[in-house]
């Protein structure tokens, strides 16, 4: 490849952008007036991501010109680690999967950076924000480009670090700090699984694979060589264990049940951060990992069934929770968790390319939804509660049109991007037999669940759209001051002296009563206040994403373009198992599956329209009158509270009662103190011998000599008798 060396520009330019912002960003902002300095700093931040996107397009064009079976190239910068028989180079892999992710990460990352230049314009810590954002992109590129498990791990941990920094960007607000801590800690559980999986792979290959001359046991081209795949095939138990450990890592980063609980709280960060995490970077890491190790997962029906079932359950569970949310970003957060479940279902069914297809289309419409919600929040003076929205289409028409495109795409309307990737996943679930264990088709079971989730998705997204842009009544005209507690960044003091807990799910009954109280008991916004459309730096990315959400799926589906690009010849040794198709038998054979999917989407949208076309029903405005099921959904069916209580209270009790009071205070201290008591007692006995009289010492010496002579004599007599 003539342009292979450009990959170093793709990898290192975002890192250079991070250093420029960290070292010189403050000086750039202060060099002129505040707004001009921020504009220069923001343009630089965008360029250090946009240029890698252009370089990625050039490399991808060269890669596409190669024969299908030669579309990979490894570029090594230097030997990084050498330990006896193990060598780990600093190497990157240019192949169809890595370059697909490069274009997604840098392309959407550029648009999100551009949006953020306007969204964060009033933020005092402007350069710190873009410092973290550039570093986030740099680590994500390391994750997808690295050609060995060590570089994957660096990128994996790096995006975890950056998510902590960005979610807790307004760290002076205790709730934001808690959300950042929660994301960091929960992800450590997943990282534990990934680490053990890496060690297991290295151990298996180093003990059973014939010696690799250069010791590159952690490099992908060695792991996926025919000789290595034969080792995995010959050890089905170890292969299943490795696949499940890697899946634990994927569950953490990609927010699958039971490790999804960090992602909804990640909404504490600025909206561009939410878009970056949910659409282009961190949460896609698990799907990239499964695609990279598809050949190993496909050798284990048990692991594949686990992946498919966990994905299906997560999709259903999160979709139900979304119905109870009033915060617009929380609706989108649970939508992401649910859509990630679809992607894992695809991979568990063997349609790894379909999982990546949904990663791509989801990146288009979910980035649009999050940035669009940011535009709505910006227009509404940073209010995030959908109860105070309504009829916004009159005031923010560009945002409305873009958001409607995203709503139709995620709902699965035929012709738009979400429809094609969703159909590919459902077809694989019912048509493939990779996740069959003991004669039971777990993929088909998850497929039925996913079909139901298609209707739920259309319903809760229609609910969000109706409450925000339609509904007739302009609720914000009656908004009380007490309700304005979801301010993201309007002023610095908003994060030091905030109102009610931003993680509280519903407003209190007192606040709801306040809204209905006489006017003199609460304050309204200014009488002439109206929502306003965002600046071009914010709506231009929305328009681009709207076009991609509308036509991107069709382009990638036409001629099975993405499928043949990612897996032109399937996976070595397992081609037949990984060719997804429409089910040939059963109730979902032929076009029946497509008709059923469209019916679910239309039914969900119709239900959402009927219930919410006039705004939020009165019963949903007060927790006492809400349906019990919706209250339970709003509280995640108690799961989050249970996990937090178990981890914090239960973990604290175990640490206090067992590790401290028993293990540390009694066992460890008991052993140490016991040794001291024994030494003191033994010393007390021996000190009696030290009398200070010479005759006593002489007597002891005489007794010793007699004992020794007697012992030697007995030994000699015994030896002589034997002879």
Q: Up-side HSE of residue 520: CA atoms within 13 Å toward CB?
A: 0
Token couple for 536: 């071009």
Last residue in a domain, options 219, 245, 269: 219
Mean pLDDT of 604-613: 93
Q: Are residues 396 and 541 in the same domain?
A: yes
Q: Give the domain extent around 553.
A: 353-628
Mean pLDDT of 617-643: 81
**Angle ∠(30,32,33) on CA atoms, nearest 5:** 90
Q: Are residues 34 and 14 in the same domain?
A: yes
Q: What is the model's pLDDT at position 512?
A: 38
Is 232 contained in some domain? no
Q: Which position has the higher pLDDT, 460 or 435?
A: 460
Least confident of 82-96, 146-160, 294-308, 659-673: 659-673
Is 418 contained in some domain? yes
Is 652 contained in some domain? yes
| Cα–Cα distance, 562 to 391 (Å, whole number) | 39
Is 226 contained in some domain? no
Q: What is the pLDDT of residues 565-608, one digit of tens each?
A: 888 755 444 444 555 556 655 565 667 888 999 999 999 999 99
Q: Which position has the higher pLDDT, 344 or 719?
A: 344
Please count the other Cβ atoms lying within 10 Å of the Cβ belonging to residue 136.
27
Q: Is the pLDDT of residue 559 over 50?
A: yes
If one counts the domains in the chain, the total is: 4
Q: Are residues 715 and 654 in the same domain?
A: no
Mean pLDDT of 699-706: 88
Q: What is the model's pLDDT at position 707?
A: 92
Q: What is the model's pLDDT at position 581?
A: 57
Q: Residue 683: CB partners within 8 Å, gap ≥ 6?
A: none
Q: Are residues 528 and 479 in the same domain?
A: yes
Q: What is the model's pLDDT at position 569?
A: 58
Is 526 contained in some domain? yes
Q: What is the model's pLDDT at position 567?
A: 81
Q: Are residues 561 and 648 in the same domain?
A: no
Is 210 contained in some domain? yes
Q: Is the pLDDT of residue 134 over 60?
A: yes
Token couple for 279: 């659409």
Q: Are 331 and 263 in contact (CB under 8 A)?
A: no
Q: What is the model's pLDDT at position 526?
A: 54
Q: Is the pLDDT of residue 635 over 50?
A: yes
SS3 state of residue 325: coil
Q: What is the model's pLDDT at position 25?
A: 84
Q: Are residues 701 and 648 in the same domain?
A: no
Q: What is the pLDDT of residues 406-448, one digit of tens each?
A: 999 999 999 999 999 999 899 888 887 777 888 888 888 888 9
Max distance between CA atoms of the chain, in angstroms, equals 120
- From the list 373, 341, 365, the residue with the least C-alpha distance to 355 is 341
Q: Where are the beta strands (DSSP E) in 57-178?
A: 72-83, 86-95
% of the chain at pLDDT higher than 70:
88
Q: Are residues 448 and 586 in the same domain?
A: yes
pLDDT bin (cut points 50, 70, 90) of residue 194 is very high
Q: Are 630 and 324 in contact (CB under 8 A)?
A: yes
Mean pLDDT of 343-364: 91
Mean pLDDT of 208-233: 87
Is 477 contained in some domain? yes
Last residue in a domain, options 187, 219, 251: 219
Q: Are residues 358 and 388 in the same domain?
A: yes
Q: What is the model's pLDDT at position 717?
A: 85
Does residue 100 have a cis bond before it (omega within 30 degrees)? no
Q: What is the model's pLDDT at position 35?
A: 80
Q: Is the pLDDT of residue 261 over 80?
A: yes
pLDDT bin (cut points 50, 70, 90) of residue 667 is confident
Q: What is the model's pLDDT at position 552?
A: 92
pLDDT bin (cut points 50, 70, 90) of residue 520 is very low
Q: What is the model's pLDDT at position 471?
A: 79
Supply the DSSP symbol for 307: H
Q: What is the pTM of this model?
A: 0.84
- From the list 358, 377, 409, 422, the residue with the least C-alpha distance to 545 is 409
Across the chain, what does the average pLDDT equal? 84
Mean pLDDT of 525-546: 82
Mean pLDDT of 468-488: 64
Q: Is the pLDDT of residue 460 over 80?
A: yes
Q: Are residues 9 and 155 in the same domain?
A: yes
Q: Is the pLDDT of residue 487 over 80?
A: no
Q: Are residues 649 and 698 in the same domain?
A: no
Is 485 contained in some domain? yes
Mean pLDDT of 692-719: 85
| Cα–Cα distance, 234 to 573 (Å, whole number) | 13
**Angle ∠(701,707,713) on CA atoms, nearest 5:** 135
Residue 646 to residues 90, 180, 331, 482, 649: CA-CA distances in angstroms? 41, 19, 26, 33, 6
Q: Are residues 86 and 179 in the same domain?
A: yes
Last residue in a domain, options 194, 219, 244: 219
Q: Are residues 453 and 485 in the same domain?
A: yes
pLDDT bin (cut points 50, 70, 90) of residue 31 is low
Q: What is the model's pLDDT at position 586?
A: 58
Q: Is the pLDDT of residue 515 over 70?
A: no
Q: What is the model's pLDDT at position 468?
A: 92
Q: What is the model's pLDDT at position 494?
A: 39
Q: Which position has the higher pLDDT, 248 or 664?
A: 248
pLDDT bin (cut points 50, 70, 90) of residue 29 is confident
């Amino acid at each position: 490849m003539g342009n292979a060396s450009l990959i170093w520009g793709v990898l290192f330019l975002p890192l250079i952008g991070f250093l420029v912002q960290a070292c010189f960003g403050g000086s750039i902002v202060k060099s002129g007036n505040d707004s001009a300095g921020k504009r220069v700093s923001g343009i630089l931040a965008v360029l250090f991501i946009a240029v890698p996107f252009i370089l990625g397009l050039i490399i991808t064009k060269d890669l596409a010109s190669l024969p299908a079976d030669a579309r990979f190239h490894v570029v090594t910068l230097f030997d990084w680690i050498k330990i006896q028989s193990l060598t780990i180079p600093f190497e990157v892999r240019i192949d169809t999967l890595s370059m697909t992710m490069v274009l997604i990460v840098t392309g959407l990352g550029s648009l999100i950076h551009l949006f953020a230049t306007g969204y964060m314009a009033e933020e005092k810590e402007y350069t710190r924000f873009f410092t973290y954002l550039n570093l986030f992109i740099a680590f994500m590129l390391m994750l997808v480009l690295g050609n060995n498990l060590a570089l994957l791990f660096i990128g994996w941990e790096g995006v975890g670090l950056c998510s902590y920094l960005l979610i807790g960007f307004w760290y002076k607000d205790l709730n934001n700090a808690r959300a950042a801590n929660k994301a960091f800690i929960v992800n450590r559980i997943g990282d534990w699984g990934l680490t053990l999986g890496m060690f297991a792979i290295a151990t298996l290959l180093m003990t059973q694979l014939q010696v690799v001359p250069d010791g590159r046991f952690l490099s992908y081209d060695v792991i996926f060589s025919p000789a290595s795949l034969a080792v995995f095939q010959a050890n089905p138990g170890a292969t299943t264990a490795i696949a499940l450990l890697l899946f634990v890592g994927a569950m953490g980063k990609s927010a699958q049940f039971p490790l999804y609980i960090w992602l909804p709280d990640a909404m504490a960060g600025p909206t561009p951060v939410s878009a970056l995490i949910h659409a282009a970077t961190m949460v896609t890491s698990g799907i990239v990992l499964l695609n990279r190790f598809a050949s190993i997962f496909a050798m284990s029906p048990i692991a594949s069934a686990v992946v498919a079932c966990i994905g299906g359950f997560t999709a259903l569970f999160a979709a139900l929770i979304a119905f109870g949310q009033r915060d617009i970003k929380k609706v989108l957060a649970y939508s992401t968790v649910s859509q990630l479940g679809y992607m894992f279902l695809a991979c568990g069914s063997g349609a790894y390319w379909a999982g990546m297809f949904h990663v791509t289309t989801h990146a288009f419409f979910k980035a649009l939804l999050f940035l669009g919600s940011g535009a709505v929040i910006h227009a509404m003076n940073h209010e995030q509660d959908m109860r105070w929205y309504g009829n916004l289409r009159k005031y923010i028409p560009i945002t409305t049109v873009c958001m409607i495109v995203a709503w139709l795409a995620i709902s699965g309307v035929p012709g738009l991007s979400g429809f094609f990737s969703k159909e590919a996943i459902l077809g694989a679930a019912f048509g493939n037999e990779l996740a069959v264990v003991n004669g039971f088709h777990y993929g088909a079971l998850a497929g039925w669940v996913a079909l139901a989730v298609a209707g739920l998705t259309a319903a809760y997204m229609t609910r969000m759209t109706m409450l925000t842009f339609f509904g007739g009544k302009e609720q914000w005209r009656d908004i009380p001051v007490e309700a304005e507690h979801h301010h993201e960044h309007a002023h610095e003091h908003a994060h030091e002296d905030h109102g009610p807990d931003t993680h509280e799910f519903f407003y209190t009954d007192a606040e709801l009563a306040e809204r209905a109280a006489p006017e003199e008991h609460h304050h309204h916004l200014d009488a002439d206040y109206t929502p306003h459309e965002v600046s071009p730096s914010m709506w231009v990315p929305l328009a681009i994403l709207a076009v991609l959400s509308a036509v991107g799926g069709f382009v990638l589906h036409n001629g099975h373009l993405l499928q043949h690009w990612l897996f032109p010849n399937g996976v070595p040794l397992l081609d037949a198992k990984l060719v997804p198709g429409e089910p040939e038998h059963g109730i979902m054979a032929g076009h029946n599956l497509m008709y059923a999917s469209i019916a679910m989407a239309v039914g969900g949208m119709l239900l959402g329209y009927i219930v919410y076309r006039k705004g939020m029903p009165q019963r949903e405005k007060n927790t006492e009158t809400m349906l019990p099921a919706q209250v339970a959904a709003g509280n995640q069916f108690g799961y989050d509270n249970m996990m937090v209580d178990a981890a914090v209270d239960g973990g604290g009790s175990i640490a206090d009662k067992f590790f401290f009071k028993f293990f540390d205070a009694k066992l460890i201290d008991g052993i140490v103190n016991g040794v001291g008591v024994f030494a003191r007692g033994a010393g007390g006995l021996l000190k009696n011998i030290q009398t200070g009289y010479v005759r006593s010492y002489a007597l002891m010496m005489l007794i010793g000599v007699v004992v020794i002579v007697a012992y030697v004599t007995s030994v000699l007599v015994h030896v002589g008798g034997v002879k």
